[in-house]
A and B are shown apart, each in its own frame.
Chain A
């Protein structure tokens, strides 16, 4: 079946602009995760959604970052007033059940902030 998809594949923006990154998880997967991959920090957890439960936002680096998941499926990660240090690859993953923890990743969105 279809895997996790993310759009756009690449995004170039100017400092101070807002950006939205989209993730379509595998159908039927109730858990959805966002990670950030940057040269200096490696792979970092950002946020986690599980069903209708309140998301775990403990990994979000600042209040400029937010995410929502509509209808238990598609998720959008929003970065407001982008900064150059936000430049990274943003990876989305989904899993069938959180406790099983085998996460399937999308191809990521490469964000470049000029």
Chain B
């Protein structure tokens, strides 16, 4: 079964600095999708960024980028120029694509942004 591991229960960063959140996963599939979701105190899960495993280029969305290491099964999220609004719980999630539609989530990393 696929598993997703986030080894950092909590992280903190100074405003305007850069922080990297770690995620590793276990799968025997060669094609799959990886996601980072953000959950602020409002509970609304918001998609931050996604990566298709067949793409070698790392996904980027404005201040958010990933470091996707397929061989190492690692999918870290880098947040540049951190803002107070980035404070939230961040979840890494995996989906094997095709007809397998379930998201498997990690336990989450709580990010605090200090002014």
Chain A residues within CB distance 8 Å of chain B: 31, 33, 35, 42-43, 45, 48, 50, 56, 59, 89, 91, 93, 95, 98-99, 101-108, 110
Contacts and interface: CB of A to CB of B under 8 A. Distances in A.
B67 to A, nearest CB: 21
Contact of A105 (B44, B97, B104, B107): B44
B42 A33 contact: no
A95 to B, nearest CB: 8
Interface in B86-102: 91, 95, 97-99, 101-102
A48 B102 contact: yes
A103 B103 CA distance: 9
Contacts of B46: 105
B47 A93 contact: no
Contact of A42 (B35, B42, B47, B108): B108
